[in-house]
Amino acid sequence: MALSRRDFLIGTLGAGTALPLAGCLGPAIQANRHGFPCRRLGRTGELVTIVGLGCAYAQSSGGRGGMAALIEAALEGGIRYFDTSSDYTRSEEILGRVVKPLRDEVFITTKLNALTARAAEVELATSLKRLQTDHVDLLLQHGAGCQVDSADVDTVLSIGGSLEFLIDAKRKGARIAGYGAPGKGNTLLNYCGIRTDLVEYTVDRNPYKHGRFCPGTHIPIFSPERLEETKPDFILILPWNLKKEILEQLSYARDWGARFVVPIPELEIVD
């Protein structure tokens, strides 16, 4: 007998995950009309499926079409909770398109990277447009307190820290570009007030980010080939936890004398 995507999800998520979780969460469980276990979300009163679909990396499964198919399969299986963010490339756009006919049934969570009221207002308006809705059900601040440690931020802002170095280098006429556009890097850029007057652009290997902008800072994102085209003097490594791999990937930049700036855990300039 052929196994449908719905049967597969119910069999793997419903029986294998949802029911054990339901037992752990206590008796306040009921099923939605698709038979998927649900629970009240804290004190909000909202009834949500106890398993949701995180859309951060869904695009890696076959591109835009693969992501849409994954969301459709989750819907078929009864899942109605979806988590996304403004910096998950085209996640919001694809999620909004797929769930639009069922908007009244689904619970959408998205996140902001902006650290000021005005930037947050602009970012939310962009998210709502991508999601094709007039509201989200839950709005979170992305990475606050975990993506960038407060001690790390203090280091960046301190005398002799990364921000002072970037400002001084720019005053001397240096060209500065970034590498990567991760959530924690965006948090750092926003917190430190770094804009295109310091970092002209950043590059990322994810094609879905090309032609877009870092949330809040509006620093443009290009493909890595942009580095070789413009030959910046300094490259700011935003996913600093991947320093070793990135330095290997960008070894060719040393041919024109580029140097690498690692902002955290302490300022490091790599030739």
Instruction: Determine the Cα–Cα distance for residues 38 and 31; give it in Å rounded to an integer.
Output: 5
CATH number of 5-141: 3.40.640.10, 3.20.20.100, 1.25.10.10, 3.40.718.10?
A: 3.20.20.100
The structural domains of the chain, with segments of one domain joined by +, span 5-141, 150-270
150-157 vs 183-192: helix axis angle to the nearest 10?
50
The distance from CA 268 to its chain's CA centroid, rounded to whole angstroms, is 25
DSSP conformation letters of 52-119: -EE-SSGGGTTHHHHHHHHHHHHHHTT--EEE--TTSTTHHHHHHHHHGGGTTT-EEEEEE---SHHH
Closest CA to 236 of 213, 218, 261: 261
Supply the pLDDT for residue 109.
Answer: 93
Q: Which two tokens stand for residue 100?
A: 């639009």
Per-residue model confidence (pLDDT) at position 226: 96
pTM: 0.54
The fourth-level CATH superfamily of domain 150-270 is: NAD(P)-binding Rossmann-like Domain (3.40.50.720)
SS3 call for 28? coil
> In 3-state terms, what secondary structure has residue 238?
coil
Per-residue pLDDT at 148: 53
- Per-residue pLDDT of the chain (271 residues), as tens digits, is 444 444 544 444 443 444 444 444 454 578 888 888 998 887 777 889 999 999 876 545 555 568 888 999 999 999 999 999 887 768 899 999 999 999 999 999 998 776 566 777 788 889 999 999 999 998 887 765 455 555 556 666 777 777 787 888 888 899 999 999 887 888 888 888 888 989 999 999 888 789 988 888 889 999 999 999 999 999 999 999 889 999 999 999 999 999 999 988 888 999 9
- Burial zone of 19 (CB within 10 Å; 0-12 exposed, 13-18 middle, 19+ buried): middle
Q: For 262, list phi and psi in degrees, rounded to 5.
A: -105, 110
Does a cis peptide bond (omega within 30 degrees of 0) precede residue 265? yes
**Model confidence over 12-68: pLDDT tens digits?**
444 344 444 444 445 457 888 888 899 888 777 788 999 999 987 654 555 556 888
